[in-house]
Each structure stands twice: as C-alpha cells, then as structure tokens.
Amino acid sequence: MSKITKTEQQWRESLSAEEFAVCRQQATEPPFSGRYYKLKDDGIYRCVCCDAELFSSEHKYDSGSGWPSFWQGVDEGRLRLRSDNSHGMVRTEVVCAACDAHLGHVFDDGPRPTCKRYCINSVSLKFDPKSSA
C-alpha cells in the first residue's frame, strides 16, 4: 500500500468541514449521531480520505458506545495504532495506514476472538454495499 500525502489545503479542498475536523484534526463526532453506527447492511467500510478498505460488516457489532464498532479490520496492515494522551486519558488511536486519517480509537473490551473494540467515527468512513450480483 503506497502512502498518500497531501497538503493541509489539499485535504481541506477534498473533504467536508466535518470530515476534515475528524480525519485531519482528530475531532470526534458526538455519540449516536453518525450515519453508520446502526447500519447492519453487508459491505465494506472505506476511508473517506483515500478509499482504502478498512473494515468489513462481517466484523461489526453493536458495542452500545454510539459509534460503529468492529472487532478487527479487513487487514491489520491497513490500520496503524498510535498512543493518544489527549483529554487527560491514555488511549490507542486508530489511523488509516495509507493516508494517516484519524479514524477513532481501539480498546481491549471487545468480543472474542480478538477482544478488541475499534470504535470508529462514521464521518471517517464511507460504506460500499456488497453487490447482490
């Protein structure tokens, strides 16, 4: 996977204000407000910034957190984890490995087999429904 780099201005021009705030400035959408937290359709969740495949509906579950939650990514090489000590908390941030878009955070309180809860902002994703053909 090749690295995608753009200037701040290029990101601002290609993303909505909300997408830019979340993906490039590490903002968070309010819980229970995102368009995908209740979605149960089959398909792939892609990065809104670069279109990389990140999560599958097969790995999505209702964590009760108010954000789309997944117990694993489609390929762990597509996600990068980094320490986040903001807001007086110690968390693990999840970013797109291709473009460094902030996606959300991962916690160790998810279901088996991984026991992970990737808590992801809907605004950082776009959904590609599984074709019925």
Cβ-contact 2, 100 below 8 angstroms: no
pLDDT score, position 1? 66
Q: Give the tens place of pLDDT for each residue, 91-108.
A: 999 999 999 999 999 999
pLDDT attached to residue 88:
87
pLDDT at 133: 45
Instruction: Specify the CATH number of the domain 8-128.
Output: 2.170.150.20
pLDDT at 38: 95
pTM comes to 0.94
Q: Which stretches of the chain drop beneath a pLDDT of 70?
A: 1, 131-133
Active-site hit among 47, 96, 99, 119: 119
pLDDT at 6: 96
Mark whether 47 is an active-site residue: no
Closest residue by Cα to residue 119 from 78, 67, 73, 55: 67
| pLDDT value, residue 87 | 83
